[in-house]
Every structure is written in C-alpha cells, then in structure tokens.
Amino acid sequence: MIIVEPGDAAAPGAARLLEASRALMNAEFPAESNHYLGPDDYAGDHMRFLIARKGPETVGCVALAIRDGYGEIKSLFVDEAARGTGASGALMRAIEDIARDEGLPLIRLETGDTLTAARRLYAALGYAERGPFGEYGHDPRSVYMEKPLGTEG
C-alpha cells in the first residue's frame, strides 16, 4: 500500500529521488530547459513537500510552491521500481488537496515535451496545456499546464 505524507526533501530517501530526477532531466534536456529546484529550494514557508512510501521505503515525492494566486507543482518523481503502482496519482491528489486547503484557485506546472508518461498523467487528472507563466519564458522543450481547483478532487 502507498502512503503519502509530508516529508523532508533532505531526508535520505527523498534526496535520492530528487537526485535521480535531476539526473534524468540533465540527460533528457539541455541546461537552459531544466527548471528543477536545488536541495535548499524546498525550505521556506511557501513550499510544501510530500513523499510516497511503500513500507519504510520512500518511492516518490512532489512539491508545491505557493505563488501569488496559484500553486506550482515541482519535482514530481517516482522511483522506477514503483511506477505503475498509483504513487504518482496519489501524490498529485494529495498535493492538490493541500493547494485547496491553502485557498489556491488553480495549480500550474511545467514539464518536458518528451516526458509522455507525465503528460498523460497530468491530462488524465484534468490539466490542460497553456502558455508560459510566472518566470518561465517560451521554451520549445517545455509544456505548460494548469488545472482549476474546485471543491472536489
């Protein structure tokens, strides 16, 4: 069973996943198209960080950055061995609930154009493509998406 709970991005299991995510992004995209967070960027009142566990093992993570008028999904990543277990969907539903609790009207995200499994997940959860937002500029390797948050998940 997958358990989703608040986590510490500096804890060994989460740090391992975040490093694996950065390595994947570095292998897949040029530096100017990478928008991942550094280890210290997960601290602060504007960040929420969740982990997914299967037993004692941390198998996934996601962050929510509280922005002016919206939340931004950052760092969704699930260990390869745990893909297909529902961990990604569970993390996304939990982070959306946090965004609702924060009173945010919508969630936005940026993902890579070749990350087809992630894009399928986001579309299945109701995210629609949009243009760049916040500090993002046009990048042909980036896909920008958003989802209005209602009262139901």
What integer is the mean pLDDT of 75-91? 92
- With cut-offs at 50, 70 and 90, classify the pLDDT of residue 151: low
The proportion of the chain whose per-residue pLDDT surpasses 70, expressed as a percent, equals 98
Domains of the chain and any CATH numbers: 2-105 (3.40.630.30)
Pairwise CA distance, residues 15 & 78, whole Å = 12
Q: Name the pTM for this structure.
A: 0.92
pLDDT reading at 126 higher than 60: yes
**Residue closest to 27 by CA, chosen among 16, 36, 40:** 36
Pairwise CA distance, residues 19 & 136, whole Å = 22
Per-residue pLDDT tens for 22-62? 999 999 998 889 988 887 899 889 999 999 999 999 999 99
